[in-house]
Amino acid sequence: MTGTDDEWAALLRAALAGDGRAYRSFLSAVTPVVRGIVRSRGYGLGEARCEDVVQDVLLAIHTKRQTWRQDMPVRPWIYAITRHKVVDAFRARGSAVDVPIEDFAEILPADAGPDPTERGDMEKIIGMLEPRAAELVRMIGLDGATAAEAGEKLKMTEGAVRVALHRAFRALARLRERHVE
């Protein structure tokens, strides 16, 4: 059935005259149209709530079918009932909004990655250290070198590297406290 107003009117007239088969056909024909209206007007209600509204509309059509004037088109009558039921659903929902996260998964920000300014900020404060301490902090703290590798490059013992690194970190902590406050 194409769902023209004349076809719907003929089915509803037959249903009002007692034809059960015509009534089932009428409801089957209008249900997809009602569902489409509810989904387009009821965006934000959620899929389950929209389906509840469709059922409310069909129930209202059933209980109010005697109010349809047979000399008038059926489609505006159905649209009015549907519109009112969608408005009722929004009123019943109140200020709560139900928006599935799946609708926004593509545009939600990704997990935060590394801060692109972090290395520059660290370099700035490390640059305030004496040159040898700054080089140690860069090698071990930023580049991931071991104490043995740093000692070999700087011609220091591994123990001396650890002591110097500890002192450099204490100096960094003091610098940070001065610059944060």
Alpha-carbon span 181 to 179, nearest angstrom:
6
Give whole-number Cα distances, 165 to 117, 118, 161, 162, in Å: 24, 20, 6, 5
Q: Is the pTM of this model over 0.85?
A: no
- What backbone phi and psi angles, to 5 degrees, belong to 110? -75, 170
Give whole-number Cα distances, 147 to 10, 123, 163, 172, in Å: 91, 20, 10, 18
Give the SS3 label for residue 19.
coil
pLDDT at res. 1: 42
Q: What is the CATH number of domain 5-104?
A: 1.10.1740.10
Q: Could you tell me the two tokens for 85?
A: 């039921």
Locate tokens 């059922």: which residue? 55
**Which one of 1.20.210.10, 1.10.10.10, 3.40.50.80, 1.25.40.10 gives the CATH number of domain 118-180?**
1.10.10.10
Locate tokens 């059509």: which residue? 61
Q: Tens of pLDDT along the chain (181 residues)?
A: 456 888 999 999 999 999 999 999 999 999 999 999 998 888 777 788 889 999 999 999 999 999 999 999 999 999 999 999 999 988 887 766 666 677 676 776 666 666 677 777 778 888 888 999 999 988 998 888 999 999 999 899 999 999 999 999 899 888 877 765 5
Closest alpha carbon to 79 in 27, 34, 26, 40: 34
> What is the 8-class DSSP label of residue 142?
I
Q: Where are the domains of the chain?
A: 5-104, 118-180
